[in-house]
Structures are given as C-alpha cells and as structure tokens.
C-alpha cells in the first residue's frame, strides 16, 4: 500500500470502468436516470462513480479493502494508531468517542463551552458530566480554554472520574495545553478525549500548536472539511491503542449511516493524499495569515491573539466594537462587499484562512475591512461566567427521559435544570442538562438578562420561566 495512492478513489474508478450493468442502488444508475440539474452539479463522471455497497468498494462498518487501506494511510499521516472515517460529521465522531469509552454512571470532565454533540454523546452513554469553567477574554468578549490549574483542581475534587474531554482548539483557535493536561490526566488513570473539530490541520505545521494525538490524547475527533480539503460533513476519529479501540469502532458503527456516500469517503482519502503530497500547504496558509494579521493591525484594526494560551493564527478574529459596530452589523456590511465571514458575535467577526487562500483573497479581505464604517464606540459590561466546577445531579440521559415542567425562574432554585441556558456572548452555558439550579446562578441569569445578550437553548428566551425535572 503506497502512501501516494488513493485506495477509495481507485476502487470507485475501477468499478465504474468495468462496464457493469447495475441492478442496484443508487436509483440514478451511474447517472443515466439523473435529472439534468444533478448532472450539472455533480458532473457525469461524478455520477458514474457515485455507487456504494459493492464488495469492491468495501464496507465502512466492516472495512476489509479500500476503506481499510485508506484509513490506515490516514492513521499513519496523523500519527494515530487507528482512524475511522465519518460521513455523518464530527457530531457523530464525538458521539462515538464518548459512547465508545464510557459506561452509564461514569464521571467525565466537560468544559462549559462544549459542542451540543457532547451532550448528545452523554445522553447515549449515560455518563455524568462534571462541568469545568473556561477562561474568558473580557477585551474581545470571547471564551478562551480550560487551564492546567483547573484540570488539577477538578481531578483533586473528583478523582473517581474516568475521562476528561477538551475542546482544543476552540472556534477562535485557542488551544489548551494538551501535552501537560495529558500527563496529568493519565497520571490519574483517566482517558483524554479531544474535540479537535477545528484542528485537523495542526499536524502539518510546526508553526501551529501540536495536534491532540501528538500531544498525548487517547482519542480526537477532527472535522477534516473545516480547514482541509474534504467535503462538508466528512470527519475522522483518530485513536491511540490506549483507548478501547474496538468498542469505539462498534459505537461508530451504531451511529453511522449504513448507506455512506462513497464520494464523501473518497474526499477524505483525497484530502489525506493532498497533504501527503504537499504538507507545506498548511504552513503556507499560516504564513499568509501572519502577514495578513500584520496588515490589518497597521490599518488600526484590533486582532485577537491570546497571551496566556497557544493558538492557531489562521483563525483571524477582528474586533469591531471599537468601530461602534456589532459583529452582525459588520458581517452584513462585508457581505455587501462580497466578503463572507465564518461567524460573527457581539463584538467580533471571524475569518478562516486556508491553503485555498492567496495574496489576492487576502487583499480583498484587507480592502473590505478598511471600508468598515465607524460609529460611536460600544462599551458593554463584560458578561458573567461561572468559575465553579459543578457535577450534574442527574446524567443527561436521565434528564432527557425524565418528566419535566416549567416554573418561574426564581421558583427553580434547588431544582434540576432540564435544558441549557446560554447567553451569547460569551456562549458558555450558565446551566446545563441535569445541573442543580442554585440561587447564585439565578442571580447571574437575572443580571445577564439586563445585558440584552441573545439567549440560546432555553425554551423561554425571556427566561421568565425555565424547564426543570418534575
């Protein structure tokens, strides 16, 4: 098996070239029955190879041929012991990572800025979360990451926990100290799981934080499509043998579709080949990002670069509150200039630079940002974030199945929350599934209600009432 081969693509092309008369799915049968719009979008060649479930094309649930070979090549490139391809997005990869490593009742440390897929993974597994506080940058009004000190404090308080889950890097590119945290977690006999959705490219440049697997994580879930070249909703789960690999594979099989699209699988294989052949692509994107950051700073724009955390400079966060704009206002303005950001929050707009960018796209971004209008500067009070380490009273699974009722917020003190309460920004939940609602948190919620921040997750966006376990 050559590292410069593309096993899934080769198998698809070989099947297509064999002049088979198909009496199998998909119904368009090599594109002959496809509508002209579909032929235009996928091309006749794309439709010819859009087949799956034949023995030559392997089985994602029991790989023995081209998918097995492609996953082995990916594991080698990303320094993992084994890799699983996902076509249901990193959501499924994270769910499989949790479902495949934890039992019902196991305790797991989870940062408060975890993606909703973590909660669904906890519902599937029956594990009980212990929520960790995330550091916050008041200047840019955004979340940072979990510190080593917080991890040490959490393990001392709950030494019986089975695992720690990190989000590293987060959406803004802020990375935790995964190497140090891995040492601490493993010394305590726990697994380190990492939601690395925004870090599939870290392996390929020394100018970036180390990848989770290289830093000592047992399992990491990566969105190969976010920064690298595979198609949307394709991801990889990287595993070391220190994790229960076979059980994770079973969990993945239970969660993934039984009809995976072969083109999506092929795009993962091709993304791996592209980096195998041109690993310098990522460093080129980093260098372009660093140059762009300097240009934007010289034009008086405020660019995020955390001081106490390592970070990925290809995530370019521009603060627009100094221009008197909200992030959504800046996004709308830039869209009219034919520039689309990745996201906007109350104070910032975030842009992703990848190896698809070059000097011409960087110039367009600089020119667009230079045109941002200036209004009276906005100065909002910093949002409230909790610093407590809190164990859920009920597991998310128990909470999911429990009967619920809705009560006035003040009447909920001492009750168990049956929903998520998040103010955006900072996007860090004050309450999660299964947590006991304290008087302190109710006070925080009442204070935040006055800030005008958007409420996410709650059934009552005014937070006059809240859903609790009955």
- DSSP one-letter string for 91-114: HHHHHHHHHTT--TT-EEEEETT-
Tens digit of each residue's pLDDT (9 = 90 or more) over 70-118? 999 999 999 999 999 999 999 999 999 999 999 999 999 999 989 889 9
- DSSP one-letter string for 293-358: HHHHHHTT-EE---SSSEE-TTEEEEE-GGGT--HHHHHHHHHHTT---SEE-SSEEEEE--TT--
What is the C-alpha separation between 195 and 437, in angstroms, rounded? Answer: 27
Per-residue pLDDT at 34: 92
What mean pLDDT is predicted for residues 209-229? 97
55-277 architecture in CATH? 3-Layer(aba) Sandwich (3.40)
The CA-based diameter of the chain, rounded to the nearest angstrom, is 70
Alpha carbon 315 to its chain's center: 14
What is the C-alpha separation between 106 and 127, in angstroms, rounded? Answer: 5
What is the C-alpha separation between 114 and 102, in angstroms, rounded? Answer: 17
Residue ranges, comma separated, of all CATH 3.90.100.10 domains in the chain are 392-469
Tens digit of each residue's pLDDT (9 = 90 or more) over 338-366? 999 999 888 899 999 999 999 999 999 99
pLDDT at 67 over 90: yes
What mean pLDDT is predicted for residues 319-343? 93
Residue ranges, comma separated, of all CATH 3.40.640.10 domains in the chain are 55-277
What mean pLDDT is predicted for residues 62-66? 95
pLDDT at 238 over 70: yes
Tens digit of each residue's pLDDT (9 = 90 or more) over 376-390? 876 666 666 778 899
Tens digit of each residue's pLDDT (9 = 90 or more) over 245-293? 999 999 999 999 999 999 999 999 999 999 999 999 999 999 999 999 9
Tell me the HSE value of 10 on the side-chain side, using a 13 A CA sphere: 12
What is the C-alpha separation between 396 and 433, in angstroms, rounded? Answer: 6
Residue ranges, comma separated, of all CATH 3.90.1150.10 domains in the chain are 280-370
**Fold exhibited by the domain 280-370:** 3.90.1150
Query: Are 172 and 198 in contact, with CB atoms under 8 Å apart?
Result: no
Tens digit of each residue's pLDDT (9 = 90 or more) over 172-201? 999 999 999 999 999 999 999 999 999 999
**Start-to-end C-alpha separation, the chain:** 58
Query: Are 108 and 126 in contact, with CB atoms under 8 Å apart?
Result: no
Quickly state the pLDDT bin for 455 (edges 50, 70, 90).
confident
Per-residue pLDDT at 378: 63
Q: Give backbone dihedrals phi and psi of 386, rounded to 5 degrees, phi first.
A: -85, 145
What mean pLDDT is predicted for residues 394-400? 96
Q: Which of 262, 267, 269 is nearest to 12 (CA)?
A: 262
pLDDT at 53 over 90: no
Quickly state the pLDDT bin for 207 (edges 50, 70, 90).
very high
Q: Give backbone dihedrals phi and psi of 96, rounded to 5 degrees, phi first.
A: -65, -40
Percent of the chain with pLDDT over 70: 97
**Residue that wins the pLDDT comparison between 31 and 71:** 71
**Fold exhibited by the domain 392-469:** Ornithine Decarboxylase; Chain A, domain 4 (3.90.100)
Per-residue pLDDT at 451: 60
Query: Are 388 and 133 in contact, with CB atoms under 8 Å apart?
Result: yes
């Amino acid at each position: 098996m050559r590292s410069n081969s593309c096993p899934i693509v080769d198998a698809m092309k070989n099947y297509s070239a064999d002049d088979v008369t198909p009496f199998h799915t998909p119904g368009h049968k090599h594109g002959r029955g496809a509508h002209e719009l579909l032929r235009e979008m996928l091309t006749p060649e794309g439709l010819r190879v859009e087949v799956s479930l034949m023995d030559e094309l392997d089985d994602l649930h029991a790989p023995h041929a081209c998918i097995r070979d492609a996953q082995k090549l990916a594991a080698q490139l990303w320094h993992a012991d084994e890799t699983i391809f996902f076509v249901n997005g990193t959501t499924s990869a994270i769910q499989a990572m949790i479902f495949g490593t934890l039992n019902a009742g196991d305790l797991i440390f989870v940062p408060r800025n975890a993606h909703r897929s973590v909660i669904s993974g906890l519902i599937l597994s029956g594990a009980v979360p212990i929520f960790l506080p995330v550091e916050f940058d008041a200047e840019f009004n955004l979340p940072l990451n979990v510190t080593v000190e917080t991890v040490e404090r959490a393990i001392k308080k709950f030494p019986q926990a089975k695992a720690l889950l990190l989000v590293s890097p987060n959406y803004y590119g802020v990375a935790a100290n995964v190497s140090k945290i891995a040492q601490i977690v493993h010394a305590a006999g726990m697994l380190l799981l990492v939601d690395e959705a925004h870090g599939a490219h870290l392996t390929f440049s020394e100018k970036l934080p180390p990848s989770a697997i290289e830093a000592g994580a047992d399992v990491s879930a990566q969105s190969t499509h976010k920064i690298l070249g595979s198609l949307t909703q394709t991801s990889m789960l990287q595993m070391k043998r220190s994790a229960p690999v076979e059980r994770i594979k079973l969990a993945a099989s239970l969660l993934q579709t039984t009809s995976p699209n072969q083109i999506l699988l092929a795009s993962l294989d091709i993304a791996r080949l592209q980096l195998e052949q041109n690993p310098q692509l990522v460093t080129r994107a980093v260098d372009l990002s660093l140059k762009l950051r300097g240009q934007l700073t010289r034009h008086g724009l405020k660019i995020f670069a955390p001081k106490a955390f390592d970070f990925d400079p290809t995530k370019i966060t521009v603060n627009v509150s100094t221009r008197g704009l909200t992030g959504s206002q800046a996004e709308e303005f830039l869209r009219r200039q034919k520039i689309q950001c990745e996201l906007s929050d109350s104070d910032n707009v975030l842009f992703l630079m990848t190896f698809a960018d070059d000097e011409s796209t960087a110039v367009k971004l600089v020119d667009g940002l230079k045109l941002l209008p200036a209004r009276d500067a906005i100065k909002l009070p910093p949002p409230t974030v909790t610093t407590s380490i809190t164990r859920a009273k009920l597991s998310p699974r128990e909470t999911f199945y429990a009967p619920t009722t809705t009560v006035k917020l003040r009447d909920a003190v001492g009750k168990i929350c049956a929903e998520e309460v998040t103010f955006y920004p900072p996007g860090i939940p004050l309450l999660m599934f299964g947590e006991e609602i304290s008087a302190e948190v109710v006070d925080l919620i009442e204070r935040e209600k006055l800030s005008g921040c958007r409420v996410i997750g709650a059934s009552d966006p005014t937070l006059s009432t809240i859903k609790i376990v009955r």
